[in-house]
Structure 1
Amino acid sequence: MRLVASQTLQEGAELARPIFNEKGKVLIQKDVTLTSPLIKRLQERGVTYVYIKDELTDDIHINSPLPEEMRLEAIQLVKQSFTTFQNNGFEKSAFLLDKTSKNMTNMVDSMIGQVTGNDEILTVMSDILIADDYVFAHSINVTLYAIALATELKLPAKQIRQLGLGAMLHDVGKMFIPDEILNKTGKLTDAEFDIMKSHTEKGFNFLRQSTSFPLLIAHCAYQHHERLDGSGYPRGISLEEIHPFGKILAIADVFDAVTSNRVYRDAMLPQEGLEVLYAGSGKLFDRELVRTFKNAIAIYPNGATIRLSDNRIAIVVKQNNQLHERPIVRVIKENEQDVQPYDIDLSKQFDLTVTSYQI
């Protein structure tokens, strides 16, 4: 199968994987032949990429970070929990947080098992999902990225679990931000942005009421917008004042934010998201953690079309786990002309590099 941008889809393309919304409902089944109205619907609903069937890539395997059922279950758990907190208000929800703590802990344990039990690196862009509620899908994505980074760092199991819970709950304070600000499609005013930024303090004050979670979980909500140079919020702390979990979540949070489709901006590709992190490396984000994060994810996902340094066009076939920037690729064009496909292992051919996506 092949990864294609929805903006470049052609009539007659056949879906290789279904399209879900975050409630678990299949909006478009796999094997459906796409028509112009269906393609337009995908574009309007914010689907940036789809996987299509392609005889040149039938043997390419796409690894999902989570089974689709587990991912949808996780998003529903976060949505139901957060919505309950919102509906009951700040003061009345502490006991509800304790009631849902077991379910959240079990979900984080399951996600850790999926990430650590897979000997392949985390492949982003592998779940084609329409998320009507960004906060909930974002919470699950950040949890996955944080777990992957913590695993690459070889942190103890107890710390990975705590970090996973902190990641799942890092944005819970947004449930206490007025909807007209949280869901505003236009640019926030300075006053509105100040209110939005308060979600870190609201999340901290809410989570520290819990008797089921350690205070460190609350600090994950408190510190994920802090930056090394002190330019973050809410306290403007810097360097070693920021807990290591805060530094990890800053990276996971920003990466998912820029690689997710939003109403005001198209999603960046993984390589572009990493460039954002590297641009702030050493100033905003911990340099060593950015480097480690790069090693924890697939920069060029299986099925993606890329351009090589000699201008050949190829499709990513398989990851090389020890050399993430140098996957096995299948050349399909030379000098902009179709050719009989053949595979190249870039880990064995160092005179070639990937220069860009061609999605």
Structure 2
Amino acid sequence: MKSTTAYALQPGQTLAVPVLNQNGIIMLGAGTRLTEKYIERLLHMKIKEVYVEEDVSAQVEIEKSNLLNSALIPYDQHMHEQSRLDSKAFVEESMSELKTNSTLRRRVSVPVLGDRFFRIYQSIIGELAKVEFVKDSLALMHRKDPSLLEHALNVATLSAIIGFANKYSEKRLYELTAAALLYDIGMVSLPKGLLTKRGKLTVIERKRIENHTIEGYRMLINRTDIPDTAAICALQHHERYDGSGYPYRSKYPDIHEFAEIVAIADIYDALVSERHHRHSYARGNAIEYLLGSGNRLFNLSLVKLFVGHISIYPIGSKVLLNSGQVAVITSVDSSFVQRPIVRIIRESDGSRVTSPYEIDLKVQLEMVIVNAIV
């Protein structure tokens, strides 16, 4: 017999102890084989603890144990060994590229932080690239869905920016970056089809996705080659400042600061990236969302650190305005990164501007950047 939470239940598991309602009436008896409808019923009743038979749960634990102790054997057992090696080689190449100034600056321009940030971050990535568990974890994410790996690398970079701006020591920056690389490892426990589903999720599907936070925690908590905070971030990165998140509805100040930082980086990169079910948001809109969610979903002081130290529109980059005009970024105010000064180079009718002129988007409030032009 094993205790578990209702949202961690899976169809096919068997109840070991009857489930009672608030009046002590048996709603589901011992020996009941759970279905999606039964689980939905338990969730609707807000049942917090359920006891299930050990046989199914034990097998799940064995699979997790194998994952932890055998260089992360992939969940998709049909994957060939060559595929595993290819994924690991891809991870090593990606981490090596991330250490180069050109790649790092292309992914995120941080003029306020200067070269010291880049030197420290490159050193940290170099150290983490030596940890086999980190590389195996990222390779597993790549095999599950390449976008998981790309997202993890982006979130690690963005999180490190916030940590550096918050004057973290190099040791704390290492711990934060490690946590940011591994925080979403629980996603590998989900079926591929659920990761890429475009339609509306069922209650069971949503709860199963939410359970990736607990899965990730279990995968990381007993590791001795990574910081303990990695497991905490895996568990808490979907908790929210006001207690509206999951899995435990924790709220400030009970959420670890690393998890708060990773949550900001996670949602920003998710919004500005293409997803299976939607197109990307404009970067300025993503920043507006974060600022508008300050001290409600996210810690406002950390959001301001993030906004003040990331150049979402690097100087010299081209952007499309809502007027249809094309412009080049000429100056960025760190207090209003979503409203830089731009130089118009093409009018809305497509004609080139013979005498380029500048517009301060902090003054021309009716004009906004729709998107960056690659």
Q: Do both proteins adopt the same fold according to a TM-score greater than 0.5, normalized to the shorter chain?
A: yes
Structure 1 unmatched ranges of 5 or more: 1-87, 123-130
Whole-Å Cα distance in 1 between the matches of residues 338 and 318 of structure 2? 13
Structure 1 residues 181 and 351: alpha-carbon distance in aligned structure 2, compared to 1, 3 A threshold: closer
Does 2:319 correspond to 1:305? Answer: yes
Deviation at 1:316, TM superposition (A): 2.2
Q: Which has the higher contact order (CA 8 A, sep 6+)?
A: 1
Supply the AA of the counterpart residue of 2:367: T
Q: How far apart, in 2, do the equivalents of 1:306 and 1:354 lie?
A: 14
- Deviations along 1:255-299, one digit per CA (max 9) or x if unpaired, are 111111112211001111112212221111011111111112223
CA distance in 2, matches of 1:202, 1:284: 23
Q: Is the contact made by 2:197 and 2:277 (CA closer than 8 Å) also made in structure 1?
A: no
Secondary structure at the aligned position of 2:368 is classed as strand
The Cα offsets for residues 50-96 of structure 1, whole Å up to 9 and x where unpaired, read as xxxxxxxxxxxxxxxxxxxxxxxxxxxxxxxxxxxxxx942112234
1:137 aligns with 2:128: no
Per the alignment, do residues 265 and 343 of structure 1 end up closer, same or farther by CA in structure 2, a change over 3 Å counting? Answer: same
Q: Give the Å deviation of 1:345.
A: 8.2
SS of residue matched to 2:288? helix
Q: Which residue in 1 is equivalent to 2:29?
A: none
Q: CA, structure 1 residues 148+110, in 2 after alignment: closer, same or farther (shift >3 Å)?
A: farther
- Counterpart in the other structure of 1:146: 159
1:94 aligns with: 68
8 Å Cα contact 1:139/1:168 also seen in 2: yes
Say whether residues 1:249 and 2:240 are aligned partners.
no
Which whole-Å deviations, capped at 9, do the CAs of 1:166-204 have from their partners, x for residues lacking one?
111011011112223223232210111111111101101
**Residues 1:355 and 2:346 are matched in the alignment:** no
Q: Which amino acid aligns with 1:91?
A: S
For residues 217 and 228 of structure 2, the distance between their equivalents in structure 1, rounded to whole angstroms, comes to 9
Amino acid at match of 1:342: P
Name 1:191's counterpart in structure 2. Answer: 204
Please identify, of 254-263 and 105-114, the stretch whose mean Cα deviation from structure 2 is larger. 105-114
Distance of 1:244 and 1:334 partners within structure 2: 45
Q: Hey, what's the Cα distance between the residues in 2 that align with 1:112 and 1:239?
A: 34
1: CA distance, partners of 2:217 / 2:111: 34
Note the C-alpha offset of 1:305: 2.5
Conserved? CA contact 2:344–2:357, under 8 Å: yes
Task: Give TM-score, length-normalised by structure 2.
Answer: 0.59
Note if contact 1:149-1:292 (Cα within 8 Å) is conserved in structure 2: yes
Matches of 1:196 and 1:106 in 2, distance apart? 29
> Take 1:141 and 1:299, find their aligned partners in 2: how far apart are those partners?
13
Matching residue within 334, 345, 348 for 1:332: 345
Q: Secondary structure at the match of 2:163?
A: helix
In the alignment, residue 304 of structure 1 is paired with which amino acid? K
Is contact 2:327-2:346 (8 Å) kept?
no
Label 1:274 to 1:232 Cα distance change in 2 as closer, same or farther (>3 A).
same
Structure 1: which amino acid aligns with 2:67? Answer: S
SS in 2 for 1:194: helix
Unaligned runs of 5+ in 2: 1-61, 74-84, 114-141
Superposed, 1:112-127 pairs within 5 Å as 114=101, 120=111
Taking the TM superposition and a 5 Å limit, the aligned residue runs for 1:1-359 are: 89-96=63-70, 111=98, 114=101, 120=111, 133-301=146-314, 302-307=316-321, 313-320=325-332, 322=334, 324-325=337-338, 327-333=340-346, 338-342=352-356, 344=358, 346=360, 351-352=363-364, 355-359=367-371
RMSD over aligned Cα, in angstroms?
A: 3.7
In structure 2, do the counterparts of structure 1 residues 289 and 241 end up closer, same or farther at CA, with 3 Å as the change threshold? same
Question: Number of residue pairs matched?
Answer: 259
Structure 1 letter corresponding to 2:317: G
Which letter does structure 1 place at the counterpart of 2:214? E
Question: Normalising by the residue count of structure 1, what TM-score does the alignment of the two structures yield?
Answer: 0.61
Aligned equivalents of 2:70, 2:112: Cα separation in 1: 36
Evaluate the alpha carbon distance shift between residue 213 and residue 146 of structure 1 in structure 2; reply closer, same or farther with a 3 A threshold.
same
The structure-2 alpha-carbon separation of the partners of 1:108 and 1:233, relative to structure 1 and needing over 3 Å to count, comes to farther
Aligned equivalents of 2:297, 2:305: Cα separation in 1: 16
What residue is the counterpart of 1:56 in the other structure? none
Give the aligned residue type for 1:233.
Answer: Y
Instruction: Report the Cα distance in structure 1 between the residues aligned to 2:267 and 2:196, rounded to whole angstroms.
Output: 18
Q: Distance in 2 between matches of 1:231 and 1:186?
A: 24
Letter paired with 2:292 = A
- Within 2, Cα distance between the matches of 1:334 and 1:178? 48
Cα distance change of structure 1 residues 262 and 341 upon mapping to structure 2, 3 Å threshold:
farther
Q: Report the Cα distance in structure 1 between the residues aligned to 2:309 and 2:99, rounded to whole angstroms.
A: 14
Distance 1:113 1:204, change over 3 A: farther
Q: Is the 8 A contact 1:120 1:321 kept in 2?
A: no
Superposed CA deviations along residues 198-231 of structure 1, whole A, max 9, x for unmatched, are: 1101101110121101211111111100001111
CA contact (8 A) 2:109 2:311 kept: no
Separation in 2, partners of 1:215, 1:224? 14
